Amino acid sequence: MSVSIEKVIAREVFDSRDNPTVEVNAFLSDGTKSKSEVPSGASTGEKEAVELRDGGSRLGGKGVLKAVNNVNTEINDALKGKSPYNQGKIDKIMIDLDGTPNKARLGANAILGVSMAVARAAAMSKKESLYRYLGGCNLELPQTYHNVINGGEHADNGIDIQEFMITPIKKTSFRDGFEKIVNTYHALKSVIEEAGFTTGLGDEGGFAPDLKSSEEALKMLQKGITKAGYKPDEDVAIAFDAAASSFFNPDDNKYHFEGHIWDGKQMLDYYDKLLQEFPEIISVEDPFAENDWSNFEKFNARFGNKIQVVADDNVCTNPKLVRKAIKNKLCNSILIKLNQIGTVSETLETISLAKKNI
Residues in the chain: 358
How far, in whole angstroms, is CA 339 from its chain's centroid? 9
- Measured between alpha carbons, how far is 269 from 164 in angstroms, rounded to an integer? 20
Return the closest-CA partner of residue 114 out of 66, 76, 69: 76
From the list 128, 107, 102, the residue with the least C-alpha distance to 316 is 102
Q: How far is CA 253 from the centre of its chain?
A: 26
Nearest Cα neighbor of 336 from 171, 135, 123 is 135
DSSP symbol at 51: P
Query: Shortest CA distance to 337 belongs to which of 356, 299, 311, 302?
Result: 311
Per-residue CA distances from 260 to 94, 228, 266, 291 (Å)? 46, 34, 10, 20
Q: Which of 46, 117, 131, 23 minimizes the C-alpha distance to 318?
A: 46
- Is 77:329 a contact under the CB 8 Å cutoff? no
User: Residue 94 and residue 205: Cα distance in Å, rounded?
Assistant: 34
Q: In what order do the strands lie in the sheet with 20-28?
A: 5-14, 20-28, 33-37
Let me know: does 151 contact 217? Beta carbons within 8 Å: yes
Residues labelled as active-site residues: 204, 337
267 neighbors 288 (Cβ within 8 angstroms): yes
CA angle 162, 166, 172 (to 5 degrees): 160
